[in-house]
Amino acid sequence: MKHPLRTLLTLGVLTLVIAQLALPQEPDEADEENRATKTIAETTENSDRFEGLFTIYRDRDSGAPHMEISPEQLDREYIYVAVSTDGVVQGGHFRGRYRDNRILSLARHFDRIEIRAKNTAFYFDPESPLSRASEANISSGCSFQSPSLPKTGKTGKVLINVDEVFSAEALLQVKPTPDPDEDRGNRFRLGSLSDDKSKITEIRNYP
């Protein structure tokens, strides 16, 4: 016959071990949860503020940029233009060159913000009956999706980290596409964009 007290003690120890094993969280999950519970004021308390069309914050220690988005700025179209300030001509960049332009929109999907690129390859005359099917079989591309958002408060504003938006190729391919008709032996080819070496050196914000 088993001793009831010993059985209870054994169950208690097993329960304690299981509880301790269940407590630790993965680092990524813990960081994401911390970001989601922080308010905008707490996230930007050590940041410089840049007013403009979208308010930008830059952390004074890490340089990490954040963009503030209000509810009125969602589901609207914005013209995105990229210009080279300086570069190497052989690499497809030189001062004042207009790189590309797109029509972008910001949309909220549950606890995330998406930057979507509108498909401008099609146009339907609004007066034509065919315009009723203007959205059929046409989709916008998702260029970027933010991690979990911080608390917004009564204003409904949200904050997203835009380091991967502006220092990477989320919105624009920096490396030029090779000409397929060019002789491969004479072609100058760039390597891949380096995540470690790419950085935001200056923020210029405009209304």
In a domain, 109, yes or no: yes
First to last CA, the chain: 82
Structural domain boundaries enclosing 176: 27-186
Cα 167 from chain centre: 11
In a domain, 194, yes or no: no
Per-residue confidence (pLDDT) for residue 161, from 0 to 100: 92
Task: Single out the residue of 178, 175, 109, 174 nearest to residue 144, CA to CA.
Answer: 109
User: Out of 7-11, 79-83, 126-130, 191-195, which region has the weakest mean confidence (pLDDT)?
Assistant: 7-11
In a domain, 48, yes or no: yes
Q: pLDDT: is 202 or 3 the higher one? A: 202
Per-residue confidence (pLDDT) for residue 194, from 0 to 100: 85
Per-residue confidence (pLDDT) for residue 114, from 0 to 100: 94
In a domain, 201, yes or no: no
CB < 8 Å & 24+ apart, contacts of 196-201:
198/167, 198/168, 199/63, 199/167, 200/63, 200/65, 200/163, 200/166, 200/167
Amino acid of residue 145: Q
In a domain, 154, yes or no: yes
Six token digits for residue 144:
């970027």
Per-residue confidence (pLDDT) for residue 206, from 0 to 100: 87
Domains: count for the chain: 1
Q: Please say if the pLDDT value at position 77 is more than 50.
A: yes
Q: What is the DSSP letter of 206?
A: -
Q: What is the pTM of this model?
A: 0.72
Q: Please say if the pLDDT value at position 176 is more than 90.
A: no
In a domain, 117, yes or no: yes
Whether residue 150 contacts residue 62, with contact meaning beta carbons closer than 8 Å, is answered with no
30-34, 65-69, 144-148: which is most confident = 65-69
Mean pLDDT (whole number) for 158-163: 92
Per-residue confidence (pLDDT) for residue 15, from 0 to 100: 38
Q: How confident is the model at residue 6 (pLDDT cuts 50, 70, 90)?
A: very low
In a domain, 199, yes or no: no
DSSP string, 50-96: E-SSS-EEEETTT--EEEEE-GGGTT-EEEEEEEESS--GGGT--TT
Q: Please say if the pLDDT value at position 200 is more than 60.
A: yes
